[in-house]
Every structure is written in structure tokens, then in C-alpha cells.
Amino acid sequence: MIDMHSGTGKRLNWYRRYLNKFDDTDVINSLSDVVPFEAIKLSQYIEALLQGGNGISCPEILQGLELRESLSLIHFIVHYRSRLLGGSFQPLSITNGELVQHYQYVWAMFENWPDAYYKFLNQYLEHPMSNKGVGGLNKHFRDLYESLHRQSENKGIARIKVEFDHYIENYWPSVLESKRITRIQLTTRERNVVSKKEAAKILNCHPDRVDKLVQQQKLTPRVFEGKKHYSREQVEGLAMQISSNWTMDEACEALQLTRYQLKQLLDAGILHTLQRPDTFNRDWIIDKVQCQQLIVSLCQKARKKTPPSGALSMTSMQRRGYSIVRLVLAMQAGQIEFGYSHDVEHPLSCKQFTDFTLNNY
């Protein structure tokens, strides 16, 4: 990362615009016109360590480490990232530009430690050592563990080992024997991979329902050691989608409609669904926000003046041949005037719309 000018003995940092002339050769241009922020921060950090390390601003994972320990930590991650991508890290045989990209990636990981490190380890799920599948995944993690264990006296490597132990013990406990891994006092961090049973608990459903969600391509399982695991992020995202929208019963209650009326509005496309019953599923998920927007838009169209005599109720309009679909379409198109009486207990109720009169064109 840092070179010395052979003539002056001054340090030259690769993030400068020009590095001056080396050995009477041409000026060496910088890597790009725009220097990556991570590259500058890492250079400043290394330079501060060389000057004694006082008042260094750096990610928490690096705090209190000496130069040798910091470089060990950085190069350890770069080495295993290179292996993950199918290559090897040989800093003496690659250009400064390529080195910068490696260091830049690691610094960004440090700034979001340990979550970014967990995401890095998760990449082994997609690249489990060529075509070796589970065996490749296990070998990757065992190699990592052995390498971390051998160098654990280095404070920088020891900090990686703490998070690696945490990751394996909680995400893939079958990969390493329990006696081979240091027991860690767990923090509040949650596992980002869950079992089928845990996924069902998050979704508040029977475990068999998880299989149907897989068939619907709403969940993607990963199989290791003969067991299916699921991304916590994906499961919780699906749970959030379900909980933040309506079932058929919830929509009927909120809109004060019968199931038949609601089904008519859904079939007509006036109200939207996120999920309909099919071969693998019998549940409805109704778009709550879109329903709210419909009611708000109708409220804005309601008349602001006193209704004329002879105005009709919604029930009377239905007796005159206006189905709920025809009525709502007419209200949206301005073919019918109507009033609005706010219901505090049911602010989205369709029964708030009253005093209907036909417009004469």
C-alpha cells in the first residue's frame, strides 16, 4: 500500500493524484480521477498507525490494533475472498489498481461489521467450492476455522474468529463439531438462516404451509446436511407482507362489506390482491394500502353541501339494480352524487357513503 521514493525517502500514498517520478521513469498516473472514499480512509488509517496511532478514526473492529495486527486482519479476509471468487491473493503479482479494489472491499466490510462479514460468509452458500455442494461448503468453513485457530494469538485474527464462531454456532452448527468451536456469549444478533420450524413460527402457520410457499416460489430453501434452511430476511419479508395487508375477513370487517360484495370488487379489479387462492394456497392477501386509497379518493369526491330531498341510501341504490361494483364505478366516474358521514369506529367503511342521487347529463 505504501512505497518509499528511492531518492528522497518520503512515503508515497497510492491515493495521491501523482506519485512523482520513480527511477527516472514517466509520471505514474493515479488510478482514477475520483478516488474511492474507502481507499482514502484506509490510507489515512495506515498512515496514522505508522505515525504512532494516536487519535485514529477507524471502524470498531480495528480499534486498539497495531499495524501488524491490522494488516493480518485485512489480508486474511482478502485471501479468503479471493478463494471464494475462484482465485488466490498474491499481492506481489498484481497491480496496485487491483490491490486497491481488494482493500476497498475490506474497508467497506469493516464499516458494517459484523453484518457485512456474515453476508460475506453467506456467499459460500452460492459458491460452495465448484460443484462439491455440501462437502465443499463444509470444507470451506473447516479450512477457515483451522486457519483462524492457528493464528488466534494475533489480536486481529482473533476478532475475526469471534464472529466466525458466532456465525457457525448459530447458522450452521452441523458443519463443525461442537468441541472444535469456542463457545461464545451470544449477543442480540439474530440468525439470518432459519429452519423450517422457525420459518413456520415467524409466519404463524403450520410447517406444511412452508412447503406450499416454496411451491409458490415465495420462499427459496437451501438444503445442507439433508435439512432445508431459509433466509430469515426472505421469511420476515413475507411475514411483513402478510401482516401489513388484509385477509378476506379483515377486509370485510374494515370495509363493512359482505364476502360476496368484497369478492365482486376483487373480481372487477376495483380492489387489488397480492395473493389469491390457488392449487397450493387457500388464503387471500388483499392490498390494504390500495383499499385505503380507494376510500380516501371517494371521500374527496363526496358532496360538500346538504343533500337534496329524495336522496337514496346504499341499500336503496342496490335495490334499483346497482351492484356494489356498478355503484363504486359510478361514484368514481362522477355519474352519481353522494354524501359522506364519518364513522369513527370504522373509518374505512363503505357504509359511510350515503344520500345517493343520479346526475342528469
Question: What is the pLDDT, as a whole number, of residue 67?
Answer: 82
41 or 250, higher pLDDT? 250
Q: What percentage of the chain has pLDDT greater than the value 70?
A: 70
C-alpha cell read off for 250: 379483515
What is the pLDDT confidence band of residue 174, given thresholds at 50, 70 and 90?
very low
- Report angle CA 212, 167, 41 to the nearest 5 degrees: 115
C-alpha cell read off for 77: 479476509
Q: Is the pLDDT of residue 300 over 90?
A: yes
Specify the range with the lowest mean pLDDT, choosing from 26-35, 36-45, 216-225, 305-314: 26-35
Cα end-to-end distance, the chain, whole Å: 80
Specify the range with the lowest mean pLDDT, choosing from 90-99, 122-131, 139-148, 165-174: 122-131
For residue 251, count other CB atoms closer than 10 A to its CB.
24
Whether the link from the prior residue into 36 is cis, omega within 30° of 0, is no
Mean of pLDDT over the chain: 77
Dihedral (Cα; 301, 303, 309, 314), 10-degree rounding: 30
pLDDT tens per residue, range 45-104: 777 778 776 666 788 888 888 888 888 888 888 877 776 666 666 666 667 667 777 778
Q: Minimal CA–CA distance to 229: which of 186, 177, 188, 171?
A: 171
**DSSP run (H or E) holding 30:** none
Task: List, in order, residues 6 or more apart from 300 with CB less than 8 Å away.
Answer: none
Reduced to 3 states (helix: H, G, I; strand: E, B; else coil), residue 39 is helix
Range 111-125 average pLDDT: 78
